[in-house]
């Protein structure tokens, strides 16, 4: 069943509209009820094109009933009269109201095992325990590493003795750049004792180059390279010139 604006069906909608008249369901004005329903369907169809078919069927039937109630009766017409059809509709609404009241009273009663308990019934408690294992890529890599190394696994210790940090390179460049007059090769600013071993030289060169880029960004120095793979030279920026 399709839920339209909080109503579970066309009869439920008609019952709600009939309650607004605050009269006995058997004495309800079917003509007013039909007009209210048709107006509601027009509004609902403006918002929802896919309105449920049973609502549209009820709307067509109420429009037909409305026309039968407004027009004089045809003496040659067969079948029930408009008054009989209206009375049957009122009976359906009254029966739906009785069913809803009965279901409400039934659901309001105490339930066995919740609000009411049988005498001598033992209390049974059932515990269901479910274990779910979750592992990501890092967990799988760690497990694989433990299996491969067994008891030989030890944390990786980073040797910082052969690393020249960017902070050290910045301090060195700031202290030396003021004593250089013209363009000076970047390699001249490498720290003493770091020119020999290739590992230490690479670390010092990378840190010094990164520090020179940072000082150039700050506007403290100028960087020049005549061609590709040519030596990089730097000099102190003239504060009186245009920084751009």
Question: Looking at residue 201, what is its pLDDT?
Answer: 85
| Three-state secondary-structure class, residue 221 | strand
Residue spans per domain, the chain: 10-108, 166-236
Question: Looking at residue 1, what is its pLDDT?
Answer: 37
The class that CATH gives domain 166-236 is mainly alpha
CA distance 43 to 5: 11
CA distance 210 to 172: 12
Q: Kindly indicate the confidence band of residue 244, based on its pLDDT and cuts at 50, 70 and 90.
A: very low
pLDDT tens for residues 148-202?
A: 777 665 666 666 777 888 898 899 888 888 877 788 888 888 888 776 677 888 8
SS3 content of the chain, % helix, strand, coil (to 5): 55, 5, 40
Structure tokens at 21: 């008249």
25, 26, 27, 32: CA torsion to nearest 10: 60
pLDDT tens for residues 48-57?
A: 655 656 666 7
Question: Looking at residue 121, what is its pLDDT?
Answer: 64
**Helix, strand counts (H, E) of the chain:** 7, 3
């Amino acid at each position: 069943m399709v839920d339209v604006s909080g109503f579970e069906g066309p009869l439920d909608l008609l019952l709600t509209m009939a309650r607004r008249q605050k009269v006995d369901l058997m004495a309800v004005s079917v003509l007013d009820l039909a007009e209210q329903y048709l107006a509601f369907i027009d509004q609902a169809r403006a918002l929802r094109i896919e309105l449920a078919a049973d609502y549209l069927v009820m709307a067509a039937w109420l429009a037909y009933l409305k026309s039968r109630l407004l027009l004089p009766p045809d003496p040659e017409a067969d079948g029930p009269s408009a008054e009989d059809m209206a009375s049957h509709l009122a009976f359906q609404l009254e029966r739906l109201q009785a069913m809803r009241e009965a279901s409400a009273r039934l659901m309001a009663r105490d339930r066995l095992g919740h609000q009411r308990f049988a005498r001598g019934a033992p209390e049974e408690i059932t515990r269901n325990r479910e274990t779910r294992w979750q592992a990501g890529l890092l967990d799988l890599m760690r497990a694989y590493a433990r299996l491969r190394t067994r008891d030989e696994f030890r944390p990786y210790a980073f040797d910082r003795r052969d690393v020249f940090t960017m902070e050290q390179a910045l301090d060195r460049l700031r202290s030396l750049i003021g004593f250089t007059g013209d363009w000076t090769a970047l390699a001249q600013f490498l720290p003493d004792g770091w020119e020999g071993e290739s590992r230490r030289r690479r670390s010092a060169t990378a840190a010094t180059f990164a520090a020179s880029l940072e000082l150039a960004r700050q506007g403290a120095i100028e960087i020049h390279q005549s061609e590709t793979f040519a030596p990089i030279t730097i000099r102190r920026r003239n504060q009186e010139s245009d920084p751009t």
